[in-house]
Amino acid sequence: MTAATLTYFHGRGRAETTRWMLAATDVDFTNVAIETPQELTALRATGKLPFDQMPLLEIDGHRLSQSSAMIRYLARRGNLYGNNDTDAMWCDLVAGAAADFAEVALQAAFKPSATVAIEAMTTCLSKFGPRFEARIEQQGSGFCAADNMTFADVVLTEALSSYLEWCPDILSDRPHLKKLHDTVTSHKGVANYLASPLRYPKPGDEYVIAVAQVLQRALPPHMPDADRFVAG
Ligand SMILES: N[C@@H](CCC(=O)N[C@@H](CS)C(=O)NCC(=O)O)C(=O)O
């Protein structure tokens, strides 16, 4: 089995779709957590970060930046990009929509309250949910883009899983999304990952604080002493 290293904060964030894709393509990986500004400075000094940003995926002798590049690299090497150009087009189209949909879940922990976060997620779901349902129905295979599972299904399911942690009933009247979610989370590699210590918990205040501390930036304004990590 190939081994990979994924460097990011101590949490899910923008590295999580890559973790799901590593799991879905049976790549063994290690999480390297950057927990202090000094560790980030040292990492940047190595020159390993092409744009000075995390996450960083090290695999097959490559150092990848940009989570969208990571999931597509893993999709190609793991045959999760469909079977032809039309499938690949649908993969990109649905994965793009899934990224827009996921963004609201990514921001949820940074909101002033769970109520505000859930309201934003509910609005986003009412926009995207019917379109994802229609797309799966039109495809006819139970998947989004092809006759078999692709990376679009994996990243969409990752987003749905985050939504479910905040709004547990969202799939009760969305049968195609529910079936897709069940199928992808039952995939052996994904299921093993979700049950493993590699899977970080649902992000909360601790994660928001950890990110601000490493990046030395302000906390969301509703948090006490919001500028406590701002340098200078
Ligand atoms: N589009 C990039 C976004 C990467 C990104 O914004 N990373 C943040 C942490 S989540 C970062 O490294 N920020 C520090 C910086 O931009 O200098 C991706 O998806 O990988």
Whole-prediction pTM: 0.97
At residue 1, the pLDDT reads: 56
**Is pLDDT above 80 for 225?**
yes
At residue 214, the pLDDT reads: 98
At residue 231, the pLDDT reads: 80
Residue 136 CB burial class (10 angstroms; 0-12, 13-18, ≥19)? buried
Q: 99-134, pLDDT tens digit by residue? A: 999 999 999 999 999 999 999 999 999 999 999 999
Say yes or no: CB of residue 13 within 6 Å of ligand 1: yes
Measure the CA–CA gap between 151 and 95, rounded to whole angstroms. 8
How far, in Å, is the centroid of ligand 1 from the Cα of 148? 31
Q: What are the structural domain ranges in the chain?
A: 3-78+192-215, 85-187
How far, in Å, is the centroid of ligand 1 from the Cα of 7? 12
Say yes or no: CB of residue 54 within 6 Å of ligand 1: yes
Ligand 1 mutation pick, 6, 14, 17, 208, max ligand atoms within 8 A of CB: 14
> 3-78+192-215: CATH homologous superfamily?
Glutaredoxin (3.40.30.10)
At residue 118, the pLDDT reads: 97
Question: What is the CATH topology of the domain spanning 85-187?
Answer: Glutathione S-transferase Yfyf (Class Pi); Chain A, domain 2 (1.20.1050)
112 cis-preceded (ω within 30 degrees of 0): no
- Mean pLDDT value across residues 164-184: 97
The answer to whether 56 and 7 are in contact (CB under 8 A) is yes
- Mean pLDDT value across residues 60-83: 98
The answer to whether 36 and 61 are in contact (CB under 8 A) is no
- Mean pLDDT value across residues 77-104: 98
CA angle 185, 186, 188 (to 5 degrees): 110
Q: 23-68, pLDDT tens digit by residue? A: 999 999 999 999 999 999 999 999 999 999 999 999 999 999 999 9
Q: How many other C-beta atoms lie within 10 A of the C-beta of residue 189?
A: 17
Measure the CA–CA gap between 31 and 45, rounded to whole angstroms. 20
Contacting residues for 111 by C-beta, under 8 A, at least 6 apart: 117, 120, 220
How far, in Å, is the centroid of ligand 1 from the Cα of 108? 17
